[in-house]
């Protein structure tokens, strides 16, 4: 019997902690603090109901309401702290910083519009290789890049001093932004086996999508063209690298109905017309603000 009573007392204490505020409000509403349950738990004691009248009743109700709101506010903040970016606590990127004269905010023309990317970008299934890659050669200069962003509310700015490219961005959930440059078609990438670049990153950690696109109409589908891409996680810190060979790139088979059959198995580098470097909020990563600085040029691996 003693164990049962202790168990009931424990349940009562937990219940009071959760419902303390609402209980006080209810007591103020009915005008008294009933003590019947205490008499059941402690039969040797004789507790009497506490009457609430006038201003005392009003003040008790106000105190109960304040405690009620405070307890649930603490619980909500605790939930957001434990699960940031959840559907109950979505993270909204802060507004884009004021654009200075050195900032490039050009938007690609409809012909070059990378927003035709599918909502869910494909993720390459290959794992990054740790074997030494051949000697790189600078081949895609740091100048001539343009920005693009989704239509979900993400934003991006670009600062380019001719040597380094600094990308500041804010990503919403499942959003993407990036930079784009026309490189062909031609011989720029012919004879190379891959691409690499070094970067610094801070803020929200998301995913790089490096994309090579053919010119619109190549491949026999009006208004569309094959797109090859590879994905790499963005590592927060300095002097990081993205190193990838074309063998691990995949064609976007889900970009257009019928592309499952028409998507080439390998990249024809002579047809490579444009390169995009996208930053995407993929499953498992957090939306929010960040900054990425690409050092010097994109290097081709011979």
Rounded to whole angstroms, the Cα distance separating 153 from 158 reads: 17
259 or 27, which is more confident: 27
What residues does each domain of the chain span? 2-82, 103-301
| Residue 197: Cβ within 10 Å count | 23
Task: Among 29-33, 139-143, 144-148, name the most confident range.
Answer: 144-148
Q: Would you place residue 102 in the very low, low, confident or very high pLDDT band (cuts 50, 70, 90)? A: very low
pLDDT > 90? residue 292: yes
- What is the reported pLDDT for 59? 83
Q: Which pLDDT tens digit goes with each residue over 155-172?
A: 999 998 888 999 999 999
Average pLDDT over residues 250-263: 59
Count of alpha carbons within 13 angstroms of residue 81, beta-carbon side: 6
Rounded to whole angstroms, the Cα distance separating 41 from 48 reads: 14
- What is the reported pLDDT for 73? 78
Rounded to whole angstroms, the Cα distance separating 173 from 171 reads: 7
Average pLDDT, the chain: 75
The candidate with the shortest Cα–Cα distance to 272, out of 217, 230, 226, is 226
Question: Which helix (H) or strand (E) is 80 found in, with range?
Answer: helix 54-82
The candidate with the shortest Cα–Cα distance to 213, out of 229, 200, 197, 189, is 229
pLDDT > 50? residue 133: no
Q: Would you place residue 101 in the very low, low, confident or very high pLDDT band (cuts 50, 70, 90)? A: very low
CB 60 within 8 A of CB 27: yes
According to CATH, the superfamily of the domain at 103-301 is Galactose-binding lectin (2.60.120.430)
Chain Cα centroid distance, residue 255: 22
pTM, full prediction: 0.57
285 or 177, which is more confident: 177
Record the tokens describing residue 125, joined without a space.
Answer: 């299934």
107 or 275, which is more confident: 275
Q: Would you place residue 31 in the very low, low, confident or very high pLDDT band (cuts 50, 70, 90)? A: confident
């Amino acid at each position: 019997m003693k164990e049962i009573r202790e168990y009931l007392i424990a349940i009562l204490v937990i219940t009071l902690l959760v419902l303390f505020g609402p209980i006080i409000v209810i007591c103020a509403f009915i005008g008294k603090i009933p003590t019947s349950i205490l008499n059941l738990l402690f039969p040797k004691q004789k507790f009497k109901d506490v009457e609430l009248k006038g201003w005392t009743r009003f003040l008790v109700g106000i105190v109960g309401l304040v405690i009620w709101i405070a307890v649930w506010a603490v619980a909500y903040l605790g939930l957001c702290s434990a699960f940031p970016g959840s559907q109950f606590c979505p993270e909204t990127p802060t507004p884009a910083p004021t654009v200075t004269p050195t900032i490039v905010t050009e938007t690609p023309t409809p012909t070059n519009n990378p927003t035709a990317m599918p909502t869910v970008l494909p993720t390459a299934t290959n794992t990054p290789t740790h074997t030494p890659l051949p000697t790189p050669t600078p081949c895609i200069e740091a100048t001539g890049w343009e920005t693009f962003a989704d239509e979900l509310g993400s934003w991006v700015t670009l600062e380019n001093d001719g040597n380094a490219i600094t990308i500041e961005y804010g990503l919403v959930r499942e959003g993407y932004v990036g930079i784009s440059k026309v490189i062909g078609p031609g011989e720029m990438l012919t004879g190379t086996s891959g691409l690499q670049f070094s970067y610094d990153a801070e803020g929200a950690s998301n995913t790089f999508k490096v994309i090579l696109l053919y010119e619109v109409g190549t491949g026999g589908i009006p208004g569309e063209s094959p797109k090859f891409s590879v994905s790499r996680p963005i590592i927060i810190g300095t002097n990081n690298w993205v190193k990838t060979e074309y063998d691990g790139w995949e064609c976007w088979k889900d970009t257009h109905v019928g592309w499952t059959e028409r998507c080439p198995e390998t990249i024809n580098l002579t047809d490579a017309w444009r390169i995009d470097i996208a930053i995407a909020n993929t499953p498992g990563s957090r939306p929010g603000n960040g900054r990425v600085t690409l050092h010097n040029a994109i290097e081709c691996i011979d």
